[in-house]
A and B are shown apart, each in its own frame.
Chain A
Amino acid sequence: MKPLKIGITGVRGIVGETFTPEVSVGFAQAFATYLDSGRILICRDTRSSGPMVRSAVVAGLLAAGCEVIDLGICPTPSLQLAVTRLKADGGIAVTAGHNPSPWNALKFVRGDGLYLDPQQAEELLDIYHQGEFAKATWNKIQPAIQYKEPIEYHIESLKRAFDVETIKRRHLKVAVDCCNGACSLLIPRWLAELGCEVLAINDDPNGVFPHRPEPTPATMAQLSALVKAGHADIGFAHDADGERLGIVSELGEPLSEELTLAVATRIRLDQTPGTIVTNVCTTAVIDQLAARYGSSVVRTPVGQTYISGAMFEHGAVLGGEGSGGVAVPQVHSTHDSAAAVGLILEGLARSDEQLSEIAGQLPSLFMLKHNLTVEPNRLYSVLQDFRIAIEGEQLACDLTDGIKVQLSEGWIHVRASNTESMIRVIVEAETESNARDLLDWARDRLNK
C-alpha cells in the first residue's frame, strides 16, 4: 500500500504516487467551502513539486470563489502571521515540513493564524469526503493577488518580541543550515537584523535538499563542521518550512532535537517562570527543569494544534515538542524556528554563557527512538494489541496520545505517526542500558 495520510494535521503523501493534483484541488475546495469562500492565503516551501501543488490549490480556491493571496515561497510561520495581519479567513501552507523531498502536504491554518483544532479538522475532512464544494459563478471568480512582504512582516513581529539591542551588543557569530528550504529567505536576514555575523550554508531556496530536512544530529554533520571551522558561537539547523530547529554548540557538538525545547525552556524560565506546554513523548528533561524553577509542565497529544490550544488555556510562557519545534507566545503560539532562534540568542546575550555550558547543565537522560514500519491498514490493530498486552500485565497506561507507560527505570511511549505509516516507539531512562532494556521490553510486546 502506498502512503497517503489524510488526518488532522492535513493531507500528506508522495507526489507522483498518492499525492495527486486531484487530491490537492479537492482539499483546497473543501477548505474554501469550510471557510465560506473567504480570503485565503497560500504559501509553499521550496520543494520541486511545490509549483504543481500550488497551482492545484489555487485552482480549487478560485473555483470556490475565494479571494486568494499568494505569498510565494515563505516559511509556514510567516504565513501564519500574515493570516492575522491581512485579516484572512485562513491559509494553506504547501509543505511537507521535515519529510524528504518526494513528499508534499497541505497544512491548514485558520483565521487566528493557528492550525485547525481536531474538531475543525474533522469537519474539513467530512466536507472533503462528502465532495460537495462551493462553486463560484464566472462573475465571482477573481484573480489571485501576489503579496510580497510576508518575510518583512515576520521579521517585524520578531523584533517586537525580543531584546534586539542586547543581542546586537554580543556580536554573536552564528552558523546556519537552511537545507535549501524556505528559511533561506528568512533566517539569514533575521540574524543580520540581530547584528550577528552569519555563516550560512544550504541557503539557496532551490528545493534540492542536501540532507533530510529534519534537524537531528544525523543531519547536522555539515553544520557542525562549519561551526568548528568558523569558530561560531552556535549553529542552527532548519527544516524545509521553518518550524523545527536543531542546535550545534560552539564546540561543534550537535544537540539532540529533544534538547532544542530544553535549551529554550531553561532560557525562558530563567527570565519568566511559568507553565511549559509540551507533548506526552517529549523528554522528561523538561519536567526536571521546570521543577528547578518551581514551574509546571502540561502534557498534550502530539501535534501543534494541541500545543497551541494548551498554551492559551494555561497561559503558558513557552510551548514546543521534542521534534525541535518551539512556540514563543510573544511572537505567536505556534512552532516558529525563527522565534526559537531569537529566544536562544537573547538568552546567550543576556547571560554571557556559552551554549555548551547551558547544555551541560541540563538534566542528563538517555532517550531512544525506534520506528516500526507497519502497513497503513494495520497501524491501529498493532497498537490495540500492544495496549491489551500492557493492561494484561496490570500496568497503568497514559492514553493522552498513543500509549505511555511509566516504569521504574523510565518511560515508554508508543504511537502511530501522524505523517507516515509507522509506529514510533520512544523510551527514556537515566542510562543507556536502562533505555535499551525499555526498548526491548516494548518491542517484545509489539511483535506479539
Chain B
Amino acid sequence: MRPIPTLKISISGVRGVIGESLTPTLLTRFAQAFGTYMGARTIVVGRDPRTSGEMVKQAVTAGLLSSGCRIVDIGMCPVPTVQLLVRHHRAHGGIAITASHNPAEWNALKFIGRDGFFLNTGQARELLDIYHQGDYTRVGGAEMREVVELSGAIDLHIQTIIDGLGWLPAKEKKLRVVLDACNGAGSLAGPKLLEALGAEVFTINVIPDGSFPRPAEPLSENLGDLCDAVKEHHADVGFAQDMDADRLAVVSEDGVAIGEEYTLLLATLSVLGKTAGPVVANLSTTSALREVVSRFGCSLFQSKIGEVNVTEEMQKQNAVIGGEGNGGVIYPRLNFARDSLVGMALILHLLARTGQTITELVNSLPRFAMIKEKMKCPSDKISRILRMVRDEYATYPMDLRDGVKVSLPTGWFLVRGSNTEPIIRVIAEAEHEAEARGIIDRVYSRVQECLGQP
C-alpha cells in the first residue's frame, strides 16, 4: 500500500508534517489565499508553542503582507484567544497556527472569519478555490502594511472571563487546583487565570517550549502525572489542556480522570444552574448530556461534529452553552469558541457554589460507558465502510449528517472519517461498559474486515 499522505487540506484548514509536506511555500500561498479572500484587511495571528511555530508564522506573515493585509501578531497564545481578539479588535479575520492535539511533528493553519468563528464549510470551500486558482492579490511596496505586535492578548482574555463570571467567593480555604497545560499555549494563560480567580494553583507541564511531555489529547490515559499531582497536593480538582488550549479534561479530588466527556457536563451544570436555555452539542456527545439538560427543563440540539458546526447551531438555537464531548466547552456570553479557560472558570464556580466535590458532582450525573477507537484508513475505503455500516444496520434508527450514527436498543455507535487525519473513528456508548465493548467489538471487526478487502 502506498503511504498515506501527511498533508491534509480540508475545510478544517491545512495540516501537515513539518519537514515533509507542510512547506513554507505552501504556507505562504495559503496565507496569500486567505488575505485575498478576506480582502486585504486586518488579520490577527497567534500560534501555539510548537518548535515549527516561528517558521510557520514567518511564512504566513510574508503571505498576508504580500496580499495587502495588516497583521496583528498576538504571539504565543491559546486558539480561543485568537478568536476573542478577532472580535475584540473588530479584525476581519484570524489565523491560528496550531495542530491542536496532533503530535509534535505536525502543524496547521486554522482560518477564522470576522465573527471569530472558524470558516464554515462554504467559506472554506471558497478559500480553497482561491488557493487552487493561485491568482492572489499582490500589493506593491508602497501599499504594504505593517505588522503590529500586540502584547497583552492573554491578559485581555483573562480579564474578559473575570469580568463575566466574577472572582470565586472569598472563603477561608481557597480551592486548590492543579493545572497540566501540556507545555502548550495554555501554560501562558491558565496559571494566571486561576490565580486571578482566587484559587490556590499548582502546575505541571507549563513550560511552553514545544516539547510534548505527554500526548497532547487530554484523554484519561494521558493524565497519569496530573492524577498523581492532584493527590500529592490534596487538590480539589485537576485540569488538563491540550496544546492549543481549546479542550479541557478534569481530574477529581481523588486523582481520577473522569473522562473528557464529563467536562461539558460539568460546565453545563454550572451554566444551567444559573441561566436556563437551549444547549447544543455534536452528535457524538454522551447521552448523559441529554438527561442533564432535561433535568433543568431545557432542550438539547445536536449538530454535526466540528467546532464551527456547533457554533452555527448554537447561534441558530440561541444556546446558552454548547460544546463537544472531546472536552470543548463553548460559552457564548464570554467567548464564542471552544475555550478551556472559560471551562475551568465555569467548573470552579460550580464547585464554589454547590460546595460539592468533583466526585459528588459526577456521581450525581447519569453514567454511560463510552469507548472510542480509531484506525488508519486510506480515503478510498471510507465510503465503502460507511456504506457497509448503513446496510448492515438498516433496521435501526440512523443519523447520517456526519458519518453514520446508529441508535441501538442498548446504546449507540458512530463511524466516521476524520477531517484532520487519514483515520476512521468508531465511537460507541451504552449504559454499561460490557455493552459498549460488545457494540464496539462487533462494529470494529466488521470495519477491519472491510479495510482488509482489496
Q: Tell me the smallest distance from the CB of A385 to a CB of chain B, in Å.
A: 35
Given A24-B62, A56-B63, A62-B58, 14 other A-B contacts at CB below 8 A?
A15-B66, A17-B138, A17-B140, A20-B138, A22-B28, A47-B141, A55-B59, A55-B62, A56-B66, A102-B142, A135-B23, A138-B52, A139-B105, A141-B52
Within 123-151 of B, Cβ neighbours of A (below 8 Å) are at 138-144, 146-147
Q: Tell me the smallest distance from the CB of B330 to a CB of chain A, in Å.
A: 30
- Supposing A137-B19, A140-B19 touch, asked if A59 and B142 sit within 8 A by C-beta, the answer is no
Chain B residues near A52: list those with CB within 8 A.
61-62, 65-66, 144
Encode A130-150 as 1/0 by CB contact (under 8 A) with B.
Answer: 000001111111111000000
Partner of B141, one of A16, A29, A55, A63: A16
Q: Are B55 and A63 in contact (CB under 8 A)?
A: yes
A309 adjacent to chain B (CB < 8 Å)? no
- Looking at B25, B27, B105, the one whose CB has the most chain A CB atoms below 10 A away is B25
Interface residues on A, range: 35 or more
Chain B residues near A135: list those with CB within 8 A.
19-20, 23
Nearest residue (CB) in B for A140 is: B19
16 contacts between A and B (CB under 8 A): A16-B138, A21-B62, A22-B29, A24-B62, A49-B140, A51-B144, A55-B59, A62-B24, A62-B54, A63-B55, A102-B142, A138-B50, A140-B19, A141-B54, A141-B55, A143-B54
Q: Are A56 and B54 in contact (CB under 8 A)?
A: no
CA distance A62 to B139 in the complex (A): 25
Chain B residues near A435: list those with CB within 8 A.
none
Nearest residue (CB) in A for B145 is: A48
Within 29-78 of A, Cβ neighbours of B (below 8 Å) are at 29, 47-49, 51-53, 55-56, 58-60, 62-63
Q: Are B55 and A59 in contact (CB under 8 A)?
A: yes
Encode B25-58 as 1/0 by CB contact (under 8 A) with A.
Answer: 1011100100000000000000000111011101
Nearest residue (CB) in B for A26 is: B25
Q: Are A59 and B24 in contact (CB under 8 A)?
A: yes
Q: Are A21 and B32 in contact (CB under 8 A)?
A: yes
CA distance A293 to B139 in the complex (A): 53
Q: Are B59 and A25 in contact (CB under 8 A)?
A: yes
Partner of A58, one of B19, B51, B58: B58
Q: Are A138 and B32 in contact (CB under 8 A)?
A: no
Nearest residue (CB) in A for B139 is: A16
Nearest residue (CB) in B for A144 is: B54
CA distance A282 to B296 in the complex (A): 89
Chain A residues near B146: list those with CB within 8 A.
51
A278 adjacent to chain B (CB < 8 Å)? no
Q: Are B25 and A22 in contact (CB under 8 A)?
A: yes
Chain A interface residues (CB < 8 Å from chain B): 14-17, 20-22, 24-26, 28-29, 47-49, 51-53, 55-56, 58-60, 62-63, 101-102, 104, 135-144, 207
Q: Are B51 and A141 in contact (CB under 8 A)?
A: yes
Interface residues on B, range: 35 or more
CA distance A143 to B75 in the complex (A): 13
CA distance A142 to B18 in the complex (A): 13
B104 adjacent to chain A (CB < 8 Å)? yes
Chain B residues near A15: list those with CB within 8 A.
66, 138-141, 144
CA distance A17 to B17 in the complex (A): 31
Q: Tell me the smallest distance from the CB of B354 to a CB of chain A, in Å.
A: 44
CA distance A19 to B143 in the complex (A): 15
CA distance A17 to B136 in the complex (A): 11
Chain A residues near B142: list those with CB within 8 A.
48, 101-102
A-B CB proximity, top 9 nearest? A56-B62, A16-B140, A59-B59, A62-B55, A52-B65, A49-B141, A59-B58, A137-B19, A55-B62
Within 75-122 of B, Cβ neighbours of A (below 8 Å) are at 104-107
Q: Are A14 and B104 in contact (CB under 8 A)?
A: no
Q: Are A56 and B28 in contact (CB under 8 A)?
A: yes
Chain B interface residues (CB < 8 Å from chain A): 17-20, 23-25, 27-29, 32, 50-52, 54-56, 58-59, 61-63, 65-66, 104-107, 138-144, 146-147, 210
Nearest residue (CB) in B for A60 is: B24
Partner of B62, one of A25, A62, A141, A142: A25
Chain A residues near B59: list those with CB within 8 A.
21, 25, 55-56, 59-60, 63
Q: Tell me the smallest distance from the CB of B6 to a CB of chain A, in Å.
A: 12
Q: Are B147 and A51 in contact (CB under 8 A)?
A: yes
- Supposing A139-B104, A143-B54 touch, asked if A59 and B141 sit within 8 A by C-beta, the answer is no
CA distance A205 to B28 in the complex (A): 27
Partner of B105, one of A51, A102, A137: A137
Chain A residues near B32: list those with CB within 8 A.
21
Nearest residue (CB) in A for B104 is: A138
Nearest residue (CB) in A for B66 is: A21
Nearest residue (CB) in B for A134 is: B19
Q: Tell me the smallest distance from the CB of B5 to a CB of chain A, in Å.
A: 15
Q: Tell me the smallest distance from the CB of B244 to a CB of chain A, in Å.
A: 16
CA distance A441 to B142 in the complex (A): 41
Q: Are A101 and B51 in contact (CB under 8 A)?
A: no
- Looking at A55, A62, A102, A135, the one whose CB has the most chain B CB atoms below 10 A away is A55
Q: Tell me the smallest distance from the CB of A169 to a CB of chain B, in Å.
A: 44
Chain A residues near B107: list those with CB within 8 A.
138
Partner of A142, one of B25, B51, B58, B63: B51
Q: Are B62 and A53 in contact (CB under 8 A)?
A: yes
Q: Tell me the smallest distance from the CB of B46 to a CB of chain A, in Å.
A: 16
CA distance A47 to B142 in the complex (A): 9
Chain A residues near B147: list those with CB within 8 A.
51
Q: Tell me the smallest distance from the CB of B397 to a CB of chain A, in Å.
A: 44
Chain A residues near B104: list those with CB within 8 A.
138-139
Partner of B65, one of A14, A51, A139: A51
Q: Are A48 and B141 in contact (CB under 8 A)?
A: yes
Q: Are A138 and B18 in contact (CB under 8 A)?
A: yes
Chain B residues near A26: list those with CB within 8 A.
25
Chain A residues near B20: list those with CB within 8 A.
135
Q: Tell me the smallest distance from the CB of A346 to a CB of chain B, in Å.
A: 37
Chain A residues near B139: list those with CB within 8 A.
15-16
Nearest residue (CB) in A for B63 is: A21
Q: Are B19 and A138 in contact (CB under 8 A)?
A: yes
Q: Tell me the smallest distance from the CB of A127 to a CB of chain B, in Å.
A: 14
Q: Are B19 and A55 in contact (CB under 8 A)?
A: no
Partner of B18, one of A49, A101, A136: A136
Chain A residues near B62: list those with CB within 8 A.
21, 24-25, 52-53, 55-56, 59
Q: Are A139 and B144 in contact (CB under 8 A)?
A: no
Nearest residue (CB) in A for B55 is: A62
CA distance A140 to B104 in the complex (A): 12
Q: Tell me the smallest distance from the CB of B107 to a CB of chain A, in Å.
A: 8
Chain A residues near B55: list those with CB within 8 A.
58-59, 62-63, 141
Nearest residue (CB) in A for B20 is: A135
Chain A residues near B144: list those with CB within 8 A.
15, 48-49, 51-52
CA distance A137 to B210 in the complex (A): 13
CA distance A138 to B243 in the complex (A): 15
Q: Tell me the smallest distance from the CB of B229 to a CB of chain A, in Å.
A: 27
Q: Are B61 and A55 in contact (CB under 8 A)?
A: yes
CA distance A27 to B59 in the complex (A): 13
Chain A residues near B106: list those with CB within 8 A.
138
Q: Tell me the smallest distance from the CB of A13 to a CB of chain B, in Å.
A: 11
Q: Tell me the smallest distance from the CB of A260 to a CB of chain B, in Å.
A: 27
Chain B residues near A136: list those with CB within 8 A.
18-19
Partner of B27, one of A59, A137, A207: A59
Q: Are A29 and B24 in contact (CB under 8 A)?
A: yes
Chain A residues near B66: list those with CB within 8 A.
15-16, 20-21, 52, 56
Q: Tell me the smallest distance from the CB of A367 to a CB of chain B, in Å.
A: 32
Chain A residues near B141: list those with CB within 8 A.
15-16, 47-49, 101-102, 104, 207
Q: Tell me the smallest distance from the CB of A206 to a CB of chain B, in Å.
A: 12
